[in-house]
């Protein structure tokens, strides 16, 4: 039997929102300070040992329009998916996806000199959230996954979605979206056994407490 979560619980304040707010503040601060070039994925600097750029490149953006689009995507994830994991769960998915996207671009796309933006990470967060949603809202969870898969298939066959490059003012690296989605799926496979282990420990503790009370 599936657990049904009232729709109001999807939009109420969650402790996880602290994480999303923190990311928002960092991205806003870096954009306001014009520091994109200092934190972007830069192949030459990564080759010299500045490996943190594999992660920080996701926090900076081409321009304010690019920033606003990514922050809108982050807000959607924060509002609709936050309750499907603890703040540690989401922090793990965030860092894991960012690393996978960064390494994927670095290792398999030597022609890519620099990269900025959070879209690849957002795809990973979205996949993670949509898969977790299936447990509570199967219909919407499967529909969201189908829509995302359709988008990725379009990008693989025809390139960036129409109008996206005009809106952001630069080339859309669709490979980052694919790596992000794959990382989100792997994150589900990694965290699921940990969740099951945590539940087993909780059950065992409750049983021990019940025996102690008797």
Residue 82 maps to a domain: yes
Q: Indicate the number of domains in the chain.
A: 1
User: Which residue segment(s) compose the domain that 94 sits in?
Assistant: 8-213
Residue 65 maps to a domain: yes
Residue 3 maps to a domain: no
Residue 1 maps to a domain: no
- Each as own residue / partner, the long-range contacts of residues 129-133 (CB below 8 Å, 24 or more positions apart, any chain) are 129/77, 129/80, 129/81, 129/84, 130/81, 131/184, 131/185, 131/188, 132/81, 132/84, 132/85, 132/188, 133/80, 133/81, 133/84
Provide the token pair at 75: 């807000």
Tell me the pLDDT of the chain (214 aa) as tens digits.
Answer: 344 555 556 656 667 889 999 999 999 999 999 999 999 999 999 999 999 999 999 999 999 999 999 999 999 999 889 888 889 999 999 999 999 999 999 999 999 999 999 999 999 999 999 999 998 899 999 999 999 999 999 999 999 898 889 988 889 999 999 999 999 999 999 987 766 665 666 555 666 555 555 5
| Cβ proximity of 182 and 96 under 8 Å | no
**Residue 132, domain CATH:** 1.20.1540.10
Residue 86 maps to a domain: yes
CA distances to 54, 97, 106, 122, 183 from 176, rounded to whole Å, are 12, 10, 11, 10, 10
What gap in Å lies between CA 179 and CA 181, rounded to an integer? 6
Residue 142 maps to a domain: yes
Q: What are phi and psi of 110, to 5 degrees?
A: -65, -15
Residue 20 maps to a domain: yes
What gap in Å lies between CA 120 and CA 79, rounded to an integer? 19
Provide the token pair at 134: 């299936």
Provide the token pair at 9: 């619980």
Closest Cα partner for 61 from 99, 20, 23?
23
Q: 130-151: b or e for each residue (b if 16 or more CB lie within 10 Å)?
A: bbbbbebbeeebeebbeebeee
pTM for the structure as a whole: 0.88
Residue 50 maps to a domain: yes
């Amino acid at each position: 039997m599936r657990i049904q979560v009232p729709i109001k619980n999807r939009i109420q304040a969650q402790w996880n929102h602290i994480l999303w707010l923190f990311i928002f503040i960092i991205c806003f601060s870096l954009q306001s300070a014009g520091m994109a070039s200092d934190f972007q994925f830069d192949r030459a600097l990564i080759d010299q040992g500045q490996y943190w750029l594999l992660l920080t490149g996701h926090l900076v953006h081409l321009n304010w329009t690019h920033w606003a689009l990514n922050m809108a995507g982050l807000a959607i994830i924060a509002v609709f998916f936050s309750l499907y994991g603890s703040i540690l769960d989401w922090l793990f998915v965030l860092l894991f996806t960012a690393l996978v996207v960064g390494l994927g671009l670095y290792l398999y796309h030597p022609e890519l000199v620099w990269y900025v933006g959070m879209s690849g990470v957002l795809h990973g967060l979205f996949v993670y959230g949509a898969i977790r949603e299936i447990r509570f809202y199967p219909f919407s969870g499967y529909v969201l996954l189908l829509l995302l898969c359709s988008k990725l298939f379009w990008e693989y066959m025809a390139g960036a979605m129409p109008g996206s490059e005009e809106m952001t003012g630069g080339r859309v690296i669709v490979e980052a979206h694919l790596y992000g989605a794959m990382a989100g799926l792997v994150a589900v496979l990694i965290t699921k056994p940990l969740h099951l282990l945590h539940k087993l420990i909780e059950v065992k503790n409750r049983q021990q407490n019940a025996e102690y009370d008797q």
